[in-house]
Amino acid sequence: MALDLKNLFNRAPVVAVVPLRGVVGGGSVRRGLSVGVLAGALERAFKTRHVKAVALVVNSPGGSPVQSALICNRIRALADEHKVPVLAFAEDVAASGGYWLACAGDEIWADDSSIIGSIGVVSAGFGFVDLIKRLGVERRVHTAGEHKTLLDPFKDEKADDVKRLRQIQTDIHDAFRAAVRARRGDRLKGDEAALFSGEFWTGRRALELGLIDGIGDVRTVVRAKFGDKVRLRPVGPKKPLLRLPLLRGAAGTDPAAGGWDLGRGLLAAVEERLHWHRFGL
């Protein structure tokens, strides 16, 4: 393979750009952001030749608090190891777990109309007790462990179960608030009760509250910081091969597997859509 001599001796500053787009979570959510999916891309970004900074382009309505924390912590560990600054740029939305990701940046930038914040925890579901009664369905569940059916949607909601759930939510919310405080420090302005209430704001209002550091897009800000000759180098996860069950289903050799994957894909798409819909997107 011929060497690219132009790039080999090009000493122009480089900023590695890592896209963080989608719902946070690698389990049931299709195309989800997780530390496993992003680990390789993040490593390559911080090891990019002549890199002066890593830019995170965030467009996420949130999702898993665990994966949000893991991704943020991995970015900060790499930044400290390689002594490379991190700039975060919010696109349409950096809310809930998406804002947690943005907090990995030493600076956070957004558009005037970006949706920022939603520092809170939500748990949602449905109750089907009356429905199965009308259908004449008898629910049969056998457990070892008195709390294994906590908040079962086919059983009446219990006050003790809700209390336990709220305690879990409080613990997660405390971790989220601690992460934001640690990263934003005295840049945060205004009443903490409002900042951490789960409310969200436009980029302009988020700037006033200290949730972000400025209004701007990745190209404009990076050129202002590193000069007009700076090169933006996209670094994303490597695209995986198509999953074998999908291939078999499509080929007709295993139609059951293909149908199952299609059904899961549709459910995942609905779940993903609901995350975005919370912010009017």
Reported as a single tens digit per residue, the pLDDT across 31-48 is 689 999 999 999 999 999
Q: Is 219 or 146 the better-scoring residue by pLDDT? A: 219
**Mean predicted confidence (pLDDT) in 217-242:** 89
- Mean residue pLDDT of the chain comes to 82
C-beta separation of 54 from 94 below 8 A: no
pLDDT surpassing 50 at residue 248: no
Confidence grade of residue 216 (pLDDT, cut at 50, 70, 90): very high
pLDDT at 8: 53
Its pTM stands at 0.78
pLDDT at 259: 52
CATH number of 9-120+180-240: 3.90.226.10
Confidence grade of residue 24 (pLDDT, cut at 50, 70, 90): very high
**Mean predicted confidence (pLDDT) in 120-137:** 71
pLDDT at 250: 42
Rounded CA-CA distance 190/252 in Å is: 60
Nearest-10 crossing angle of helices 35-46, 65-82: 20
**Mean predicted confidence (pLDDT) in 177-201:** 94
**Mean predicted confidence (pLDDT) in 156-181:** 84
Q: Between the CA of residue 167 and those of 42, 173, 198, what are the distances in Å?
A: 34, 10, 17
pLDDT at 22: 92
pLDDT surpassing 80 at residue 208: yes
Q: Is 103 or 10 the better-scoring residue by pLDDT? A: 103
How large a percentage of the chain has pLDDT more than 70?
A: 72
Domain ranges (residues) in the chain: 9-120+180-240, 243-281
Q: Coil, strand or helix: which one is 134?
A: helix
Assign residue 117 a region (left: φ > 0; alpha: ψ between -120 and 50; beta: otherwise): left
Residue with tokens 């894909």: 265
**Mean predicted confidence (pLDDT) in 73-83:** 98
Q: Is 37 or 135 the better-scoring residue by pLDDT? A: 37
**Mean predicted confidence (pLDDT) in 54-61:** 97
pLDDT at 169: 81
Per-residue pLDDT tens over the stretch 235-244? 998 776 544 4
| Consecutive H or E run containing 212 | none
